[in-house]
Amino acid sequence: VSTFAKKMLGITLAVVAVGVVIGLYVSVYLTRSPQAIAASTSASGTQLTLATVPAAGSSDANPDWVSFFALAPNPNGHWIHTTTYRVPAHSLIHVTIYNYDSASGLRNPFLAQAQGTVGGTFVLDGKPTQAINPDDASHMFAIPQLDVVVPLLGVPTSAKNPCAAAPCSLSEDHETISFTFRTGGPGRFRWQCFVPCAAGWIFGTGGPMQTIGYMDGILEVV
Amino acid sequence: MGEPNHLRRVVLLWLIASAIATPLVVVLLGPNMPPGNLSSEASGQVFDNTVMLGLVTPVVLFILVYFAYVMIVFRARDGEALEGPAVRGHAGAQIWWMVTTSAIVLFLAAFGTYELFKDGSGGGQGPNPIADPPGKALQVQVIAEQWEFTYRFPTYGGVETPHLELPVGQLVEFHVTSLDVTHSFWAYELGVKADANQGVDNIVYVTPKRTGPFSIRCSELCGLWHGYMFDTGRVVSPSAFASWIQQQQATFAPITAKLPPYARTYFPKPQRRGG
């Protein structure tokens, strides 16, 4: 075998090895996405049930991080720690959020008014509401690309039976917020909280505010 | 047979190529230079980019012509193994090089300074702008936060809006600020780009001269959703703008009553949990 042939063989093997490494990196790591949970669909429409908790709980990698949870869409549904939600296109989506956290206050008070929901309102503890006091906002469910903004009122600091960390139950103090919005065509849309609620992180906007799976997520419209 | 005057040949070829290519490039490519002609400032940037293109074309051509000439004329023929003549300093060439490059740089410095002072060229000028176009301006405050721009109109009751529409033919005075980290307000087709810093009122002027959409992006890496911090604004007729702003005032009346008084900058009070 000539020296030239040996060199060519070496180069070919090196190129193949690099290609395999790149392929594995793309297929195993880059294309990996968080667990998505589908909203439950019935005759009355599509229902997405969420909860916000002051801390993700001891079973989480970041036990003291504030976070969203989603209710699994089955009769024996249990809370799942994910912020990637799948909903149908061109549909009305009914969302119910149980907020167990106290208020942090909005940095931009403008976002204390609901936007993009059916009727421009949401239901807060049974009462139709347009806006809340910006200082009383605990969290927010906002999908900027769909113009959806809904502020979540915080549990009063005087609450007698607050939930400190997930899992929280409906017997503990919470605020119930529900609203409906309409999806357009298919796509992936980010959603986020606009309240600087990341306790202990610089200006309240680090940590869970910058991490998908806590106060940010993806809405998959399919 | 004596050695031909290579320099003269190269210069002649370069002059011919430049005389043909430069007008073609300026006429054909110039009008398609970014960012378009949606505003006077954008048109000014198209002009500036065309001037730059007109200047750089002969420079690039000189390099290409010289390179091609050397590759063809001084290429060693088969079997040739001759040393070329020794390269020595050439005072004339060095002087020409220094004079020409200095002239280009000084011209660009003067030209750029004039263009900036004329109308601000769509760039943020800080709280005390030097270029202050004449005429009554529509004030629009751009408020950046992670990860959305909102807009406040002090002359319309301080209403804040999630999207931006502007009337055509109206001088607009943007006041760009931030509520958290550093962002940058980039309205591409308007030719506007201004940093958004917390506690800073960054003023930028623009006069839309055509109706149509323009893209808005954050051009300062600002966190997780920086890449999603975009929107589409619109330049509309004055009557359409009047109708739109009236609708915004009605829609956001509940929260407008709860907004802080309009100010050039905002320092949100310390958060109970953040920090």
pLDDT of residue B272 exceeding 70, the answer is: no
Residues paired with residue B35 on neighbouring β-strands, in sequence order = none
pLDDT above 90 covers what percent of chain B? 80
Tokens of B132: 């202050």
Q: Does B67 touch chain A (CB under 8 A)?
A: no
Predicted local distance difference test score (pLDDT) of residue A75:
63
Q: Using CA atoms in the order A125, A126, A128, A129, what is the torsion angle rounded to 10 degrees? A: -10
Chain B residues in contact with A136 by the CB 8 A cut-off are none
Q: How far is B59 from chain A, CA to nearest CA, in Å?
A: 39
Element (H, E) at B95: helix B91-119
- Identify the closest residue of chain B to A105 by CA–CA distance: B271
Q: Say if the Cβ atoms of A107 and B180 lie within 8 Å.
A: yes
Q: Say if the Cβ atoms of A216 and B224 lie within 8 Å.
A: yes
Using CA atoms, how far apart are residues B2 and A70, in angstroms rounded to an integer? 88
pLDDT band at B275 (very low <50, low <70, confident <90, very high): very low
Chain A residues in contact with B180 by the CB 8 A cut-off are 107, 196, 203, 205
Q: Say if the Cβ atoms of B255 and A110 lie within 8 Å.
A: yes
Q: What is the pTM of this model?
A: 0.86
Q: How are beta strands B159-161 and B183-187 bridged, if at all? A: unpaired
Q: Say if the Cβ atoms of A147 and B260 lie within 8 Å.
A: no
Mean pLDDT confidence for B210-220: 97
Element (H, E) at B15: helix B6-24
Nearest to B259 among A109, A196, A199 (CB): A109
Q: Does B148 touch chain A (CB under 8 A)?
A: yes
Using CA atoms, how far apart are residues A22 and A30, in angstroms rounded to an integer? 10
* φ/ψ (deg, to 5) at A179: -160, 170
Which residue spans within A67-157 are E strands per DSSP?
Answer: 67-71, 79-80, 84-87, 92-99, 122-124, 127-129, 137-143, 148-153
Q: Where are the alpha helices (DSSP H) in A42-154?
A: none
**Angle, in degrees to the nearest 10, between helices B40-73 and B91-119:** 170
| Complex ipTM | 0.84
pLDDT of residue B158 exceeding 90, the answer is: yes
DSSP state of B248: H
Q: Does B150 touch chain A (CB under 8 A)?
A: yes
Residues paired with residue B206 on neighbouring β-strands, in sequence order = B172
Q: How far is A60 from chain B, CA to nearest CA, in Å?
A: 21
Q: Using CA atoms in the order A99, A102, A108, A110, what is the torsion angle rounded to 10 degrees? A: 50
Predicted local distance difference test score (pLDDT) of residue A36:
86
Q: Say if the Cβ atoms of A144 and B228 lie within 8 Å.
A: yes
Chain B residues in contact with A203 by the CB 8 A cut-off are 180-181, 271, 274-275
Listed ranges A76-85, B109-118, B146-155; the one with the highest mean pLDDT: B146-155
Q: Say if the Cβ atoms of B258 and A134 lie within 8 Å.
A: yes
Using CA atoms, how far apart are residues B235 and B124, in angstroms rounded to an integer? 20
Q: Say if the Cβ atoms of A211 and B224 lie within 8 Å.
A: yes
DSSP structure string for A158-197: T-SS---SSSP-TTS--EEEEEEEE--SSEEEEEE--S--
Using CA atoms, how far apart are residues B21 and B36, in angstroms rounded to an integer? 23
Which of B255, B266, B267 to substitute to test the interface with A, most A CBs within 10 Å? B255
Q: Does B269 touch chain A (CB under 8 A)?
A: yes
Predicted local distance difference test score (pLDDT) of residue A18:
97
**List of residues 6+ apart from B42 with CB closer than 8 A:** B35, B36, B122, B189, B190, B191
Q: What is the pLDDT along chain A (222 residues), one digit of tens a residue?
A: 788 999 999 999 999 999 999 999 888 877 766 788 888 888 778 999 999 999 999 888 899 999 999 988 766 668 889 999 999 999 999 999 999 999 988 999 999 999 999 999 999 999 999 999 999 999 999 999 999 999 999 999 898 999 998 888 899 999 999 999 999 999 999 999 999 988 777 777 888 999 999 999 999 999
Chain A residues in contact with B147 by the CB 8 A cut-off are 144, 192
Place of tokens 């800080």: B126
Tokens of A35: 């667990």
Distances (CA, A) of B186 to A196, B218, B252: 24, 6, 25
Chain B residues in contact with A115 by the CB 8 A cut-off are 162
DSSP state of B38: S
Mean pLDDT confidence for B33-60: 94
Tokens of A161: 């039976």
Q: How far is A195 from chain B, CA to nearest CA, in Å?
A: 9
Chain B residues in contact with A149 by the CB 8 A cut-off are 162
pLDDT band at B270 (very low <50, low <70, confident <90, very high): low
Distances (CA, A) of B27 to B31, B53, B207: 7, 11, 25
Q: Say if the Cβ atoms of B224 and A107 lie within 8 Å.
A: no
Using CA atoms, how far apart are residues B257 and B157, in angstroms rounded to an integer? 10
pLDDT band at B271 (very low <50, low <70, confident <90, very high): low
